[in-house]
A = this chain, B = another copy of it.
Amino acid sequence: MEKKEYVTYGDKTGCSCGCGCGGSGTGITGCRFSLSPMTDDFVDIILGAVGKTRTDKVWQETGKLSTIYRGKQIHVEDAVKACFINAWHEGVHMTMEATYSRGCPGDISGDSFMTEDDELLNEPLIKDAHFPVACKIALYPMGIPDYMKYIAEVVNHAIDLGIYKRSAHYCTVLECDVQELFDYIHYVNTYCSEHLSHYVFEVTLSVNSPTAED
């Protein structure tokens, strides 16, 4: 009988807490995202946006379900922001589901470009784009009992910035300009990488929704 190849998260590094602790030290930020333009032209829009985005400074992989960029935080953020802005089309309803993460104990040090310099490749081309975005966010600080206080911290920062719309079950709703939103995402990733060994930050952006109010 064929032996099944099981996954072994939590015990492969042999640490006593069972949490792995293998990947936390790599410093790699990743973002897995999916664009969903709700139009018959979705293929052209997605491929056009991906093709227009400069990804020289991130490791990338595109599959049936999503695209992933990995590397230095600022370059991952730069490439995801560009891909979203490049996919925006006047009047076309589109969502982007994005999962930013860092420090997973099951992570590996490969599949990344950590030695790149800090010059952003896309920002000069997208910094003047402005359009309103609705967004839901959820932060998951992993492995610690007092995780709710970190969630409150980032939500309260959104309140300070004036981009918070409301709290809802299982998420927080933001509404603002696209530049403000990606500035906020940068703040969250920076705050989390400084305070948490492993976090996942889920963001779903929506533009041109035909639904007037939320």
Contacts and interface: CB of A to CB of B under 8 A. Distances in A.
A5 interface: yes
A131 interface: no
Interface residues on A, range: 35 or more
Oligomeric state, in copies: 2
A119 B89 CA distance: 45
Contact of A99 (B104, B138, B213): B138
B211 A173 contact: no
A167 interface: yes
Contacts of A6: 152, 156, 159
Contacts of A140: 140, 142, 200
B19 A147 contact: yes
B39 A40 contact: yes
Contacts of A147: 10, 19, 142-143
Interface stretch (A63-71, A77-85, A182-190): A63-71
B18 A210 contact: no
21 contacts: A7-B152, A7-B167, A9-B149, A10-B149, A10-B151, A17-B146, A18-B148, A20-B148, A30-B169, A32-B169, A38-B42, A39-B39, A63-B168, A63-B213, A64-B134, A64-B211, A65-B209, A107-B169, A138-B200, A140-B200, A170-B200
Given A4-B160, A63-B214, A143-B144, 9 more contacts: A5-B159, A11-B149, A18-B146, A32-B170, A63-B168, A65-B173, A97-B97, A140-B142, A170-B200
